[in-house]
Structure 1
Amino acid sequence: MSEHILDELSWRGLIAQSTDLDALRKDLDAGPLTLYGGFDPTADSLHAGNLVQLLTLARFQRAGHRPIVLAGGATGQIGDPRDVGERTLVSREVTAQRLERIRGQLTKFVTFDDSSTGAVIENNLNWFGEVTALDFLRDVGKHFSINVMLSRETVRRRLASDGMSYTEFSYLLLQSYDYLRLFRKYGTKLQIGGSDQWGN
């Protein structure tokens, strides 16, 4: 019998934070699980910072689970908050060009096919393009506590220095809505990402 995917990831030092590993293990043991990792097109190409996440998606796929690659067509135009300074906003055209270049690179890591474990690529611009700002604030924003959002380490550091725009501050809501949409469409139960994404 092969090693459990969680044991392999733990052995490799790839699990830093998790909500409930015992529940996740049960979900993984119950059958194929759908999981996702998100990639904002912050450059013309994937980069070294994406490698661990891509390899983790590939490991899950080889273990019999279904990876979803979430392309940040919407979130990539904003950029997630970083420790120092505001990100430069990127146009829709540049974001679309970058996504097209990155799409081909993804096939080197995961297999996109019609099988039960075949990877799927989704672009969050598809759903953010459908929702109005008012609907988003009313239907999504009401579920988030400003106190919790302000307690995030990145937010605290930025507010103590040069401040943070509402655009970057609201990234947490956008990423949470991504999860909701993927859960509703695919039954997605797991998001993987870097430690900087934990607060999102």
Structure 2
Amino acid sequence: MNWYEKLSKYFPVEEMKSKEHMEMLLKEKDDVYYKDESPEHVMMYAEFDAFIFIDYLWVSLETRGKGIGRKLLEKMKEKNKPIILEVEPVDYDDSDTEKRLRFYKREGFSHAKSIGYTPQSLATKENAPLEILYWSPKKESEEEIYEQMKKIYEEIHTYKDEQIYGEAYEPVDEVLTFDEGTDKKDMLGGR
């Protein structure tokens, strides 16, 4: 099974980029978009000057719980930049969503409570709300993470969307929102 098949069997269809999209990113944005792969894992990520975005992280069922995911994240953390990722909200009918969230929390990731993210899947034509998690070595604010998310959406998610999918994704300001009040409450220690 190739890297794309591994990802597409694990991630919901509404979260998957097409293979053409990912291959184009790997080829045409080879100074930003990368694939880290072994028989036990696949990690697709973008590294910008100021942050890292983990697009997909898959660890084989047989090797889960053996520290592979932690080692991959540690390698990223050593770069000393904020790390941003998207996860689907907890679905109590799918235990993987809960396990994934617990794993990232154990690894020091915070939930960006002030960032709303509801991209539309070109595969299903439905809105697919996602949650933003981030790890920050210098305690960047959620507003800074929000600004990075806009860059991710425009430079990675919607890269050549019309050419690849035959139509454009929604504009960034329709899928990403920032609630300044939530960010201020979190900074003051409130919930």
Task: Give yes or no for TM over 0.5.
Answer: no
> In proportion to residue count, which structure has more strand?
2
Shorter-chain TM-score range: 0.3 to 0.5
Which structure has the bigger radius of gyration?
1
Normalising by the residue count of structure 1, what TM-score does the alignment of the two structures yield?
0.32
